[in-house]
Amino acid sequence: MLQLSFISNNKETVVKGLEKRHFEKARNTIELILDLDQERKANQARLDEVLHDLNSISRQIGLLMKEGKKDEAENVKQETTRLKEVSRRLKEQQEVTNQKLETLLYQVPNIPYSEVPEGRSAENNEVVIQKGEFPQLPENAKPHWELIKDYDIIDFDLGIKITGAGFPVYKGQGARLQRALINFFLDEAQAAGYIEVQPPIVINEASGYGTGQLPDKDGQMYHIPEENFYLIPTAEVPITNLYRDVILEEKDLPVRHVGYTPCFRREAGSWGSHVRGLNRLHQFDKVEIVRIEHPDNSYKVLKEMCAYVEGLLEKLELPYRKLNLCAGDLGFTSAQTFDMEVYSAAQEKWLEVSSVSNFETFQANRLKLRFRPGQDEKPQLLHTLNGSALALPRIMAALIENNQTPEGIRIPKALRIYTGFDLIRQ
């Protein structure tokens, strides 16, 4: 959430940033926020005056009672009754104004970083780099949704039987490969200095608001109405919320965490080749890296996180490209995002496998996540960042398709110590 003080002091910057995102009625929304803020301040000033008068009259009544002037005291008490009613109405009005203001602020996305390109949709994203050679597949090459049946490693029909579409069952060597990827990603993150945590996969409403999934992604999350809990869409949510309402010391920075969790998303898309097989699921596994950084360092760290994810893709021997998302394709909370896509040779298309984002103070403001620069200095908001390192389904899809051979599906060297085999055979 954007800070109200930042909006007030940088109105034109905020409006232009929101217009770059193609946020509807950007100027009207910001002006309404600032009008409500002025109304809030005026209400508070009037309320402070009334409360001050009440305190003064209370002292006056006390003095009159001590002096034995009961009749005068009773007359003055009538004024306190009137002022208390005025105070009550002002407090009610202030609650309404605050609620309107908060609701509007929750609806305003982050403003893009200066290096975010213009554009409305994914078609306008900027390709920063592309690395790796496309594999030469056999003439009878198949997409992964056919290969997984041939090798009996992932079963979508069983998932439909147990739950529904978008909930696959991993079997045999497929389950081993899935577990190998998770362990590989966790070990790589630990070696890079990330501290592993295993968070809950169910969150409360405050956690959803804290990282910005609520109210923006309310319809995309699985909701448990009895407890008002949500299944997590990504490990970013519980891991970042570890630091909700926390003030860190500057010496505690940076904070670096990695976590593996299942992830759940209701909207898996319509039927078609772009959502077939593992391309888009309701439940999937992902390893997430999360950073909490000093504001001066966050964009340097964003580049470091991208380089780390690129290193994973290179070790998996997958051709990939890095995209700088345009303003219109940015997530609600992000100031800048780089997507990593791997090339799926059998599908002849690029598949997104990671998003690495800097949220600047947007999440920290909601979380009240701050640091103290010095012992006597006022706490300041931190910057939060995260990245998929990596999401498994499309990595699995690309590995299965790109490594198909007449003998079987080849396992990249980096994973063989984890799988215990170098080939998936029929």
Which residues make up each annotated binding site for ATP?
265-267, 352-355
Nearest to 233 by CA among 258, 197, 261: 261
Strand order in the sheet with 223-224: 202-204, 229-231, 223-224
Q: How remote is the C-alpha of 293 from its chain's centroid?
A: 16
Report yes or no: 166 and 282 within 8 Å, Cβ to Cβ.
yes
For CA atoms 391, 324, 211, 29, the dihedral sign is negative
Nearest to 101 by CA among 22, 173, 163, 8: 8
Binding residues for L-serine are: 234, 265, 288, 386
CA distance 106 to 359: 15
Binding residues are: 234, 265-267, 288, 352-355, 386
CB atoms within 10 A of CB 229: 17
Residue 314: phi and psi, rounded to 5, are: -65, -40
**Geometric angle at alpha carbon 235, from 234 and 241, rounded to 5°:** 115
CA distance 361 to 383: 5
